[in-house]
Structure 1
Amino acid sequence: MFSFKRLIKFGLLMGLLGIIALITLYLTMRDDLPSVESLKNLQWQTPMQIYSNDGKLMSQFGEKKRIPLALEEMPQQLIDAILATEDDRFYQHFGIDPVGLTRAVIGQIIGQNKGGGSTITMQVARNFFLTREVTYVRKLREIFISFHIENLLTKDEILALYMNKIPLGHRSYGFGAAAQVYYGKEVHELTLAQIAVLAGLPKAPSTLNPIRSPKRAKARRSVVLQRMLAKNYITPQEYQEAMAAPITGKRHGAEIELNAPYLAEMAHQEMLQRYGREQAYTGGYKVFTTVPSKLQKAAQHAVVTNLMAYDQRHGYRGVIRSLRNENNNKPDAVTGEYSKPLTPEEIDQALNIKGYQSLEPAIVTGVFEQSVAIALKNEQQATIDWPGLSWAREYISDQKQGPAPQTAADILNYGDVVWVLKQEDDSFALSQIPQVSGALVSISPDDGAIKAAVGGFSFNQSQFNRVTQAKRQVGSNIKPFIYSAALENGFTLASIINDAPINQWDRSSGVVWRPKNSPPTYVGPIRIRLALAQSKNVISVRLLREVGLGKIIDHLSLFGFVPDELPRNETLALGSASLTPLEVASGFATFANGGFLIQPYLIDRIEDSFGNIVFQASPAVACDPCQPGDMMGSLSAATQTAQAPEEPDSNGLAQTGLTTDKVAPPLNQAERVISKQNAFLMTEALNSAIWGYDWSTKPGWQGTGFRAKTLKRRDIAGKTGTTNESKDAWFSGYSRRLVTTSWIGFDDHTRNLGKTAYNKNLGKSQVYGIEAGAKSAQPAWITYMDTALEDLEIEPFLPPEDVVSVRIDKATGKLSSKADKTSLFEYFENGTAPTEYVTLDKSREILDGNEDEEIDEELF
């Protein structure tokens, strides 16, 4: 009895000494303990997300995947699973569980790890403020910080912190992100079996997750379910059903609603410049771009289909690989069986190829007269019929193709691994990855908001964004700016210039410079409107000479083109300047908006992780004068009554809801760089490039952009462009509310776009001949604008004040009193209209002189 009392006293003394030691340690370490006040106003480190203008997620950037959720947003079963597994006395203890801690200490003393030492509060302390090093000092600091947390926060707040902070593998932090990563679901969509898998992850997320080790994940899930059953959180029936469920976890990325990687990367780079890498990736920013998802999808479809069409008409370059050589791929004449049939293992291995866009790999498993059987991934079987094969004549060079195939055996053999494309009717067609590149960008001329941007065929194939990074020679896309300078220096749309060959001796090079029209036909005196519509090269050179190179460069700089980057010689008139598609589109926007220089921009607004707007774009707007809410350009301002011209019959385009950017008053007015009269007259001339024609007198003529007539919209204007040797092809055009530039060419500057011969398998609707702006770039523009114009009502290109319309003689540009085919109405700025009437009856049509289908080809 005496010894027992002494033992009690000794125990009390040791306990007292332990408490004193603990208090001493706390007082010693107190100043070094981190403040937990930051937990009250915690800003979660969440990835940066890029959205379209209409809220479609395009991409996510950042190392940590987190979807912060309030505790009430967590399913109760998930909360129960966490409490049962990690800390079943969480709501009873004061941050430290004496029972669990004692069990853990005893386990350490006797050499058995009993676990259970860390409460949820202690894990919060460790995850927010400490490392995971295994030392007694760290454990003590963890305990002391837990006391502070319990004094500062409620139990629900602590649990919410834990469930959002805990690392759960595959860069997911918190259960909101884990549900998305492992199951592609939101937490409220999870089954009990899936909840149990996630609740088991905190112990060892790298080894217990269902992606790395389904067996371990299943065993851990069993432990979680057993504890939930023991705590009466679930019924025996629920337990049995969850235990029997399969392990279904697999890696899921963010649920991308609009796959637009070139566009997302543009916004990503701007965010890095704006905030720096660390803040941009962890600040939880939601970046809303100016791009409507409908227009972006239309642009991507237009570019991809155009590149594939170009690539296919130049011929088939062959299979990815062949699993059988030609000597072994012939079927037995009697049985029809192949001597070395493909094995399932061979097929699976050969199809383990990453696809591009809509292209997917396939293996030829049978070759028939005019069809082939193919095997695809997931044991799919399909057939490619002759319409999906007949295009595939042999590619010889960019200039030459082989003969049209007659049978499927002319193209493919048994065991060939090929690219195929699933078409809209669910049939398959043989295809290939285009070697040619392309780009398309569309902007609002009102304020520069980017409405669509596609920088190539596939971001996975090449991350080089040709919208902003590819400076290519612009060819005849430069001519509208040359002609605009001419209008500013005494010329009118009715001015007569001699369309005749130019021969000029160049002393520096010792050669004669002979710029040529394409096709090389010349008609003598021609009006400026017709010269631009038909893209007459020598006229552009003559105008540059008349105005002067210095004045031309100064004028071009008004459209945002950098003077030091423009060639200071006469080749400038033919498009030797190198510009990006975005720069070209921005220049054309000045014509569309009535004379204002706008700056393209992509980010409309940025929200922080709490939904607060931290940035709102305030672009300069094309308006004069600017009123709050006014997005109208000067072309639709005050107008002068004038008779509409007979050539061409211009209507126009109306304002729509396309431009949805919120611009708060007062409006930031864009700089006017050319007069509204100049912009209108140029738009009229560019309308003629599409709608201008005259077949009343042979030979007739039509504008180089005539293919855009298929849109059945007279409220559009545009210009083709092709460089020397057809290395680059362009089409830039616009309606009143949308400007779009399309480009196509090879990244390898030594290759040109070449030409194609007629393929007798494809019929009359096929494109063939020399590649140029109208054939190679304009189809993408037309395809895109066909969708983009759907929501745009007609808004006329109305003449502004100080513009008059008078009847002129077609041949001389002088005034005419006749009302027959020798005359037409033309627009003039006040004071520039002709004053002299034509007196001699020598009127004639000033025509191109070319009647064939190559009228749209221009090689400069």
Structure 2
Amino acid sequence: MTLSSGRQNLDPRNVNRRRGKSPWKIVAITVASLGFAGLLAVSGYLFYLYASLPLVDRLADYKPPIVTQVFGDDGSLVGEFYLERRIVVPVDKIPRKLIQAFVAAEDSNFYQHKGLDYLGIARAAMKNLISLRKKEGASTITQQVAKSMLLTPEKSFSRKFKEAILATRMEKMLSKDDILYIYLNQIYLGGGSYGVQVAAETYFGKNVEQLNLAEMAMLAGLPKAPNSYSPIKHLDRAKERQAYVLERMVREGYVTQAEADHALATPIVISSMKKVNSEQSAYFLEHIRIKLEETYGMDRLYKEGLKVYTTMSAEMQKGAYDAVVNGLKNVDKRQGFRGEVKHLAETEVDGFCRKIEDGVDTASLKQGSSYQGVVTAVNSAKGEIAIRVGDRTGTITQKNMSWAGKVQLVNSWSTPEGKGKSLSLGSVVFVSVLTPDINKQGAVLALDQEPQAQAAVVALDPRTGAVKAMVGGYDFRRSQFNRAVQAKRNPGSAFKPIIYAAALDKGLTAATTFDDSPVEYESGGEKAWKPKNYDNIYRGMVTMREALTDSINVVSVRILEQIGVDAAIEYAKKLGITSPLAANLTLALGSSSVTPLELTSAYGVFASGGYRTTPYVITKVEDSDGSILEEAAPPVIPVFSNQSTVTLTNDDLTVGAGNVSAGPAVVPVIAPETAFIITNLMESVVTSGTGRRARALGRPVAGKTGTTNDMKDAWFVGYVPQLVAGVWVGYDQEKSLGAGGSGGQAAAPIWTEFMQRAVAGMPAKSFPQPADITFATINPRTGLLAKEGSPGAIQECFTAGTEPTLYDGELETPASDENNSDSGGLPDWVRAGRLPERSDNR
């Protein structure tokens, strides 16, 4: 009994009964505890989510980053600055059918739900469950706005939960049209386009209110996958998506079936609104951007939609860009073909071409443009090669690669032997498009080569200082260094006109003669300096006109020696040269570095008749509401054709900084007579000297070439009365330009091509002649007056009172007191037209 009783006491069920707790109660308590803890956790998490939600209130004052637009001198759009390329349009300017197209495609229950489409969520969940993958989303337009405007794009449960809460809040605060206004201006639609207005411009070259139903449906099909359905890159896919949108519009009752069918049959014309290609104007726009950022800051520049009016001429800018590209290619091709860019194995071609395809965002390869392509077939018998550019194809005939000389064509995928003279299957080369590949039928191509040398062009109106065109290099994407304003290079003989003008103001004349014979100067070292003429020819006695026309180095040095280095430096500063200048005789040969803008602006003083203008690029800036933030009134240069010699004081030489109200400064710095005579001398450089290529303009032109030692720098700066332009060509890392690298061969053709286009619409004008200019017949061998009928006699121009007084053959004796004459204070030997003989033969 005792044993039995003990066993009953050890039964667990009896123990539990005594404690009054069953296993089910324990489970229930545990579950309840866990549930309570979970509820606390969820509540805490929800509290955290609610606390971290952004305010919806700021959507009521929707102000997204919008495009700052840049306009040229004729009011045309020439460029833009933006973080997101967006132009905001009010909802009442957006066609109702376009709104309905987006609603039908993206959120058919938009006008019925309160932010969340529960029926759509259930439908999407069922489809995803059946397919066992995410096949369909259920985000409403309101949710998409919440995500893009208030949340990050991360994919997580918390973000979706926040999105749902914010969507319901938005529906309580904003009207349906308010939400659509934000959505249609905010959404990304591919091609760098944010919002329906910019998308309409990008794909169809229209404002949004000009779109037809076919175009509206195509835009509404983009949000799902903008790049995949781009009508530029994949028109076939875009049309499939267009058909889906039109079907949805019919189902929702927004259009009839007949209207949808008509839209489907409407041809799609891909076009973009006309503006200066950013590639062509990149250096000019970057120069402007830097100035705007310094004045207004990055936020205002990129987010507040400023309107910037500039001095740029769109046509001149395009002409300058084309001239640089063509000129550099010609310079480069004279150095020979460098061979393939790289070599691909057969298995690498498709991947390489896909990358190229992504960069070709037009319906066909553009005529005149350059691309990288791969050799995919070789016909050695005909001397032809087939080229693949992305998903396009083309052919290069033997004729269109003749500039490269004898190129061996190898029908093999092996790397060609012999660098530079062989091409085989897989060779990557540059090609230019002669005839586009219409409908991908194959283009006619030419073998091309990307230049290694660089160039700069800057052109301005000498009467105002307005910069009309600026190119700072071959390719802005390759190098953002703006050589037009940042590169300081030796100008060589292009600096000589400044020395000659200073000499004219010192009392010398165009008829003053100098001895062009070898000379040497002590340099303070072991070896004397012996300036040499470019052609190593020495001509004996020559006038200043002849010396500048033929760019004679020895005479230029003698002139600088005569007037003094310090005087020449001060004179250059008057003309606007701010770079440090070497205080020695090498200055006569352009040994001191200047920027192309500096030198071109200095020439502008000659072109304007003696007035220095401050180069400027911005005429007006407005905010998005149209309020003027700054405005520069263009300066006005007085008419000088009937002026007497201008007497200048130190006050006249003060550089005006310019301001918002007064505009750029205009300062008279040299006499108009001096400006006219130096211009007349540089006309001779063009008509019969080193700048003969510029004669192609067929109108009065003044200019000067410049070539430095070993042809490291090539220059041409020249002007007509209405426009002055400067061109520099060279390598960034200084080295010889090689054959054809002189200023007349490398820079002058670029200048001429640009100016032919730039002045095409301008009347041909002669340079205005001041009243105090006179002409006299002289003997160019002596610089003295020549009798009528004398062989070789020429007409020379002088400031009245400085012309020679002696006739050729008459005895000339320098006065003992050169400053004591009765002829305007000029020495007799100057009035006679010659310098006195020097015993040291310098």
Query: Where on the TM-score scale, by shorter chain, does this alignment land: which range?
Result: 0.7 to 0.9
Q: Structure 1 residue aligned with 2:564, among 543, 548, 569?
A: 548
Which of residues 659, 671, 690 is equivalent to 1:675? 671
Q: In structure 2, which of residues 523, 529, 535 is the aligned counterpart of residue 506 of structure 1? A: 523
Residue 571 of structure 1 and its aligned partner are, at CA, apart by 1.3
Q: Which amino acid counterpart does residue 389 of structure 1 have in structure 2?
A: S
1:389 aligns with 2:389: no
- Greater CA deviation, 187-196 or 588-597? 187-196
Q: Which amino acid aligns with 1:74?
A: I
Among candidates 280, 288, 302, match of residue 281 of structure 1: 302
Q: Does 1:596 align with 2:611?
A: yes
Task: Map residues 462-541 of structure 1 onto 2, 5 A cutoff.
Answer: 462-507=479-524, 509-541=525-557
Match 1:576 to one of 591, 605, 612: 591
Structure 1's unaligned 5+ residue stretches are 1-24, 325-340, 396-408, 625-632, 641-662, 692-701, 756-769, 847-860
Higher mean alpha-carbon deviation, 828-837 vs 424-433, is at 424-433
1:126 to 1:788, Cα distance in 2 relative to 1, 3 A: closer
Call closer, same or farther: CA 1:298–1:120 in 2, change over 3 Å. Answer: closer
1:12 corresponds in structure 2 to none
Shift of 1:228: 3.8
Partner of 1:759: none
Query: Which whole-Å deviations, capped at 9, do the CAs of 1:676-707 have from their partners, x for residues lacking one?
Result: 1111111011111112xxxxxxxxxx412123
State which drifts further: 579-588 or 833-842. Answer: 833-842
* Letter aligned with residue 328 of structure 2: L
Distance 1:238 1:320, change over 3 A: same
Give the C-alpha shift of residue 459 in structure 1.
2.4
In structure 2, relative to structure 1, the CA distance for the partners of 1:434 and 1:169 (3 Å cut) is: closer
Q: Which residue number in structure 1 is paired with residue 7 of structure 2?
A: none
Amino acid at match of 2:702: A
* Greater Cα shift, 48-57 or 456-465: 48-57
Cross-structure match for 2:377: 365
Alignment map for 1:294-333 (pairs within 5 Å): 294-322=315-343
Q: Is the 8 A contact 2:396 2:445 kept in 1?
A: yes
Residue 717 of structure 2 aligns with which residue?
A: 732
How far the C-alpha of 1:496 sits from its partner, in A, is 1.6
Secondary structure class of the residue paired with 1:262:
helix
Matched, 1:722 2:707: yes
Instruction: Give 1:731 shift.
Output: 0.8
Between the aligned partners of 1:178 and 1:280, the Cα distance in structure 2 is 22
Could you tell me how far 1:595 is from its partner in structure 2? Answer: 0.9
Whether 1:687 and 2:662 are equivalent positions in the alignment is no
Unaligned runs of 5+ in 2: 1-46, 361-367, 409-419, 437-442, 646-658, 813-832, 834-842
Separation (CA, whole Å) in 2 of partners of 1:208 and 1:481: 60
In the TM superposition, residue 122 of structure 1 has moved relative to its aligned partner by 8.5
Q: CA deviation at 1:600?
A: 1.7
Change (3 A) 1:286 1:819: same
User: What is the CA–CA distance in structure 1 between the aligned matches of 2:210 and 2:777, rounded to whole Å?
Assistant: 72
TM-score, with length taken from structure 1:
0.71
* Distance change in 2, residues 1:687/1:214 (3 Å): closer
Does 2:696 align with 1:710?
yes
Partner of 1:262: 283
SS at 2:759's partner residue?
helix
Summarize deviations over 1:689-747 as a string: whole Å, max 9, x none: 112xxxxxxxxxx412123223332x111101000111101111110111111111111
| Separation in 1, partners of 2:350, 2:376 | 15
Cα distance per residue 1:139-165 (max 9 Å; x no partner)? 777766755555xxxx65564344324
Alpha-carbon distance change, 284 to 532 in structure 1, aligned in 2, over 3 angstroms: same
How has the CA–CA distance of structure 1 residues 148 and 615 changed in structure 2, closer, same or farther, with 3 Å as cutoff? same
Quick one: distance in 2 between partners of 1:388 and 1:222?
A: 46
Q: 1:799 — aligned with what?
A: 769
For the residues of structure 2 that align with 1:213 and 1:440, how far apart are their CA atoms?
38
| The one of 419, 422, 432 aligned to 2:433 | 422
Give the equivalent residue in structure 2 for 1:453.
Answer: 470
Alignment check: 8 A CA contact 1:101 1:118 kept: no
Matched, 1:744 2:729: yes
Corresponding letter in the other structure for 1:469: Q
In the TM superposition, residue 556 of structure 1 has moved relative to its aligned partner by: 0.6
What is the CA–CA distance in structure 2 between the aligned matches of 1:68 and 1:373, rounded to whole Å? 49
Question: Cα distance 1:617–1:490, how it changes in 2: closer, same or farther (>3 A)?
Answer: same
Q: Is the CA contact 1:353–1:361 (under 8 Å) kept in the aligned structure 2?
A: no
Aligned position for 2:94: 74
Residue type of the partner of 2:635? A
**Alpha-carbon separation, structure 1, partners of 2:58 and 2:342:** 62
More displaced, 188-197 or 584-593? 188-197
Q: Deviations over 1:34-58 (max 9, x none)?
A: 766963xx65531223343345544
Q: 1:815 to 1:667 in 2, by over 3 A?
A: farther
- SS at 1:687 equivalent: helix
Give the match's secondary structure for 1:597: strand
Change (3 A) 1:414 1:222: closer
- SS of the residue 2:682 aligns to: helix
Question: In the alignment, residue 557 of structure 1 is paired with which amino acid?
Answer: K
- The verdict on how the C-alpha distance between 1:372 and 1:90 changes in structure 2, with shifts beyond 3 A counting, is closer
Note the C-alpha offset of 1:183. Answer: 7.3
Relative to structure 1, the CA distance from residue 167 to residue 311 in structure 2 (aligned partners, 3 Å threshold; closer, same or farther) is closer
Alignment-mate amino acid for residue 476 of structure 1: S
Larger CA Rg, structure 1 vs 2: 2
Tell me the residue number matched to 1:659.
Answer: none
In 2, distance between residues paired with 1:574 and 1:493?
Answer: 19
**Conserved in 1, the CA contact under 8 Å of 2:462 and 2:724?**
yes
3-state SS, counterpart of residue 440 of structure 1 = strand
Residues 138-177 of structure 1 mapped to structure 2, 5 A cutoff: 147=172, 149=174, 156=177, 159-166=180-187, 172-177=193-198
Distance 1:568 1:187, change over 3 A: same
Deviations 1:321-362, CA, capped at 9 Å, x for gaps: 4569xxxxxxxxxxxxxxxx9998599579779799435525
* Number of the residue aligned with 1:754: 738
User: In the alignment, is the contact (CA less than 8 A) between 1:350 and 1:417 conserved in 2?
Assistant: no
Asked whether the 8 Å contact 2:613–2:664 carries over to 1, the reply is no
Offset of residue 841 of structure 1: 10
SS of the residue corresponding to residue 66 of structure 1 reads coil
In structure 2, how many angstroms separate the alpha carbons of the residues matched to 1:753 and 1:288? Answer: 38
Match of 2:68 in 1: 48
1:62 aligned partner:
82
Task: Report SS of the residue matched to 1:473.
Answer: coil
Count the aligned residue pairs. Answer: 712
Taking structure 1 as reference, are residues 245 and 253 closer, same or farther at Cα in structure 2, changes over 3 Å only? closer
Residue matched to 2:255 = 234
* Cα pair distance change 1:117/1:748, threshold 3 Å: closer
CA RMSD of the aligned region, Å?
Answer: 4.8
**How far off is 1:464 after superposition?**
2.4
| Superposition map of 1:802-841 within 5 A | 802-840=772-810
CA contact (8 A) 2:201 2:273 kept: yes
AA of the residue aligned to 2:387: A
In the alignment, the residues of structure 2 paired with residue 484 and residue 606 of structure 1 have an alpha-carbon distance, to the nearest angstrom, of 38
SS at match of 1:504: coil
Assess if the C-alpha contact under 8 Å between 2:374 and 2:428 holds in 1: yes
Question: How far is 1:185 from its partner?
Answer: 6.3
Equivalent residue number for residue 28 of structure 2: none
Q: Secondary structure at the match of 1:506?
A: coil
The structure-2 alpha-carbon separation of the partners of 1:718 and 1:349, relative to structure 1 and needing over 3 Å to count, comes to: same
Contact 1:815–1:835, Cα closer than 8 Å, also in 2: yes
Aligned equivalents of 1:804, 1:716: Cα separation in 2? 20
Q: Residue 60 of structure 1: CA displacement? A: 3.1
Q: 1:566 and 2:581 equivalent? A: yes
Displacement of 1:239 after TM fit? 6.3
Please report how far the alpha carbon of residue 225 of structure 1 lies from its aligned counterpart in structure 2 after TM superposition.
Answer: 6.0
What do the CA deviations read for 1:784-837 (whole angstroms, capped 9, x no partner)?
222223222222223212222223332222233333224332222233222333
| Paired letter, 2:744 | A
Give the deviation of 1:518 after TM superposition: 1.2
AA at the equivalent of 2:578: V
